Amino acid sequence: MPHAPEPDEDDFDATPPQPVFHVEQALLGALLLDPHRLGEVTGIAADSFSTAAHAALFAAISTLPPPDPAEHAKNTNWLDRVLATGRGQARGLTASYLHTLVQVCPWPRHAPAYARMVEAEHARRRLQTAAERLVQTVHDVSLPHPVQAVLAEADALAAVVDDIETRFPPRAGVLPRTAAPPSPVAPDYTEAVEEEQMLLATATANPADIESVRWLLPDDLTLPLHAGLWRCLTALVRRREPVDPVTILWEAQQRGLLDDGSEPGEVLHLLAEPAGSVEYWGERALQRSLLATADHTGRRIKAYVGDPANTPFQLVVGARRSLADIGAVRTRWQHATGTVPTPRPRPAPTTRAGPPTTTAAYTGRAARATR
């Protein structure tokens, strides 16, 4: 098969092209052969294509008036205009590449099917971009309000899923086959451990305050030992039994928490140095849990998208399930902070109906905790 135009190195490198590249070639070849078939192509625009050259060609085909079929069969005047217009956006386009596109198109009448494939791959790229932005935002330490920024990106990701679902309604609740990636260790792991120790010690000294953080779950804590000790604390409070480091240590033993080699003396020491408020440290732990959930969600969706065997239908189902995890932590965050959720708008699908297209420090934190 002939190769893509050599001058446009940004679009065509030494790596083998993906299947969608050949699909795009077939679609463009069909439209160059039979321009009137543009009316049969819906759901895509110039930005649906994977390369600048293909996008420029589709934009040219979509905006130029179609030629008279009889004249088009006899001369290349319309093709010359398409090439000249396309070169305005992609200088590497050549007349020989247009000839290649025409040659590699198996059946021009299959243009609608090719367009649907291009639309599906564009949906995959959009989902990947939104998931990557979510993960990047989670790890952006320069943000003054990280939770709000992350939730905004989660909403943007959900909006993309909404649009894809409109275009590709799930046929059945079949999850992607791709395994979820393991959760990476948080860059602030040491800080998390220290703050969780402060939470446990402060809650031990002030067990009555645990009621005010009912939105905090054991799984929000980073270490399994910390999660287990929080279960011990809440269980003792729920049973109205005495709460102090010794009673918690005994409860931990009954629950097998010391089976991992944890030293009783270390647990007692951990629970004996309170500072600040339970609510403050609980909110810090919940924020960390929310960000970790968003990070894992973004990575999971990226893994789904990275598996070409997953259909758009499967991507929608998988993304919905993943975003539900953020939604659950978000609801608890709103209870913790007293924030009122803002309804998320559901934008209309941006489909093309037909031609033409226009397309501190640690001590500082402890001091603040006494608020």
Q: Does the pTM of the predicted model rise above 0.75? A: yes
The rounded percent of the chain whose pLDDT value lies above 90 is 74
26-62 tens-digit pLDDT: 999 999 999 999 999 999 999 999 999 999 999 999 9
Q: What's the pLDDT at 14? A: 53
Query: Tell me, what's the pLDDT at 346?
Result: 53
Tell me the average pLDDT across 79-83: 95
Q: Look at residue 367 in the predicted model and tell me its pLDDT.
A: 46
DSSP assignment of 262-274: --HHHHHHHTT--
Give the mean model confidence (pLDDT) for residues 229-240: 96
Per-residue pLDDT tens over the stretch 97-117:
999 999 999 999 999 999 999
DSSP secondary structure letter of residue 342:
P
Closest alpha carbon to 284 in 336, 227, 235: 336
User: d(Cα 130, Cα 111) in Å, to the nearest integer?
Assistant: 29
